[in-house]
Amino acid sequence: MAQLRLTAPALSLAVVRAELTRIAAARQASDPHLHYLDGRELLGPNEAEDLADGLHPTAAAYRHMGMRFAAHAFATDGPFR
């Protein structure tokens, strides 16, 4: 299993995201049952008020994320169809 190593505290989010996407793609090539979903599709920046302390989701945020995940995962072309 590939490991992501963060060696510098200032490593940019873009680099981390690119590495995670690369790892997910490599894993999916060997296991078609692994799927990637960008968390920003579940709770976007315009919903920051749903983060109680700016980090942790409120109950409303969990409901939004759950409904969006289910809509994605169980869609006609979703991974759990």
| 4, 16 Cβ separation under 8 angstroms | yes
**How many alpha carbons fall within 13 Å on the CB side of residue 75?**
8
Q: Which whole-number Å values give the CA distances from 22 to 12, 19, 32, in the listed order?
A: 16, 5, 15
**Contact call for residues 56 and 48 (beta carbons, < 8 A):** no
* pLDDT tens profile 9-48: 555 777 777 888 888 777 767 677 778 888 888 988 888 8
Kindly state the average pLDDT of the residues 58-66.
Answer: 93
Backbone angles phi, psi at 51, to 5 degrees: -110, 105
Nearest to 74 by CA among 45, 49, 37, 20: 37
Q: Does the model's pTM come out above 0.85?
A: no
